[in-house]
Amino acid sequence: MKRRPFRERIGFAATGIAEGWRGEPSFRTQAILGVVAIIVTAALRPGLVWAAIVALAIALVLALELVNSAFEAMIDHLHPDQADPIRRAKDMAAGAVLAASAGAAVAGVLMVAAVASGW
């Protein structure tokens, strides 16, 4: 991928996102939840800072979900047998997605609380 035109590299990235959408139910679920978060944020009109926090939280969760899926696909290809170190690595990658998702949920709750209380 090095030294390829920027437009071509963007195409590779878009293909990766499309692969995640087609092949990973967790990515689709997270993306749908992200759309719901965008709709709620637009309806609440919390201000630009809150909207930016929500957008960054969505991007972080989706990016980590893609990284986790890529990591799992690569490990499953290179080492298809069961092994405790492989299981641990995959569990940790999934844990990163869970941690980001929990953080995004907390940010959403705080945004709703801020709007409701007039902060």
Q: Could you report the per-residue pLDDT of 39-49, keeping only the tens digit for each?
A: 999 999 999 99
Q: Which domain holds residue 39?
A: 6-117
What CATH code is carried by the domain that includes residue 68?
1.10.287.3610
Confidence bin at 105 (pLDDT 50/70/90): very high
Position 1 in a domain: no
List Cβ<8 Å contacts ≥24 apart for 101-109: 101/30, 101/61, 103/57, 103/60, 104/37, 104/54, 104/57, 104/58, 104/60, 104/61, 107/53, 107/54, 107/57, 108/37, 108/40, 108/54, 108/57
The total domain count for the chain is 1
Regarding pTM above 0.85, the answer is yes
Q: Does the structure show a pLDDT above 80 at 2?
A: no
